[in-house]
Amino acid sequence: DAEITQSPRHKITETGRQVTLACHQTWNHNNMFWYRQDLGHGLRLIHYSYGVQDTNKGEVSDGYSVSRSNTEDLPLTLESAASSQTSVYFCASSESGGKLFFGSGTQLSVL
Amino acid sequence: GIQVEQSPPDLILQEGANSTLRCNFSDSVNNLQWFHQNPWGQLINLFYIPSGTKQNGRLSATTVATERYSLLYISSSQTTDSGVYFCAVEGDDKIIFGKGTRLHILP
């Protein structure tokens, strides 16, 4: 069955370190998204991509970057982790104009 | 950008009760989806409903795009319905979520 996989499930890092969260989907979807979820804020869009080599900033993109070198993967990089980036991160994918499917999430703690 | 508001923010019901969750959005959208986040954090797509009415078992949803709102109905609630319900709209070339309705079903 097609799926969307995030790794790691849990990550603890220190302030200032670079961190990369992986997202891999086997749906062959063109669209991929990264969201963060914080209490009181719901799900906020960080970055999104509508195809290979395409990346776009969402509403909370500062301090994050993504790259899309193939259809299946959209890794999220925190260039220099900050305590404010402690959160649960969700990756999602969809076909254009289609249903959105989520991964299981990554719990990131920045100490 | 598009604003998405959900109400009520919190809802506590006895098992067997019915409920209606509302999602208002501020501008025209291409589509609307409802999600359930269970107590373990998983996000499950319930409905893809840009307009009209759909039903799936005890759940149904109605979107009135011209009036910019959608409703999610849950009938005969069960404890497994507990969690947070999100609506999400596609507009301005991106998918934006509301802050959710937290539903707690008491046994």
For B49-99, give the secondary structure using H, E and C.
Answer: CCCEEEEECCEEEEEEHHHCEEEEEECCCCHHHCEEEEEEEEECCEEEECC
Answer yes or no: do A56 and B94 touch at CB < 8 A.
yes
Answer yes or no: do A102 and B42 touch at CB < 8 A.
yes
Closest CA to B30 of A100, A49, A37, A41: A100
Answer yes or no: do A45 and B45 touch at CB < 8 A.
no
- On whether any CB of chain B is under 8 Å from the CB of A33, the answer is yes
Segment B19-77, tens digit of pLDDT: 999 999 999 998 999 999 999 999 999 999 999 999 999 999 999 999 999 999 999 99
Q: Model confidence at A2, in pLDDT bands (50, 70, 90)?
A: confident
Answer yes or no: do B97 and A35 touch at CB < 8 A.
yes
- B-chain residues near A5 (CB < 8 A): none
Write the residue in B31, B35, B43 that is nearest to A97 by C-beta. B31
- A-chain residues near B86 (CB < 8 A): 42-43
Q: 3-state DSSP call for residue A2?
A: coil
Give the separation between CA B34 and CA B88, rounded to whole angstroms.
6
- On whether any CB of chain B is under 8 Å from the CB of A105, the answer is yes
Tokens for B9?
Answer: 């923010």
Pick the residue from chain B with its C-alpha nearest to A38.
Answer: B99
CA distance to partner chain B, nearest, from residue A101 (Å): 7
Asked if A98 and B48 touch (Cβ cutoff 8 Å), the reply is yes
Q: Model confidence at A42, in pLDDT bands (50, 70, 90)?
A: confident
- The answer on pLDDT for A104 being more than 80 is yes
Closest CA to A89 of A27, A26, A39, A21: A21
Answer yes or no: do A97 and B30 touch at CB < 8 A.
yes
More reliable by pLDDT, A4 or A39: A4
Write the residue in B86, B90, B95 that is nearest to A42 by C-beta. B86
- On whether any CB of chain B is under 8 Å from the CB of A59, the answer is yes
Chain mean position to CA B95: 15
Segment B4-35, tens digit of pLDDT: 999 999 999 999 999 999 999 999 998 999 99
Q: 3-state DSSP call for residue A84?
A: helix
Pick the residue from chain A with its C-alpha nearest to B36.
Answer: A102
CA distance to partner chain A, nearest, from residue B100 (Å): 7
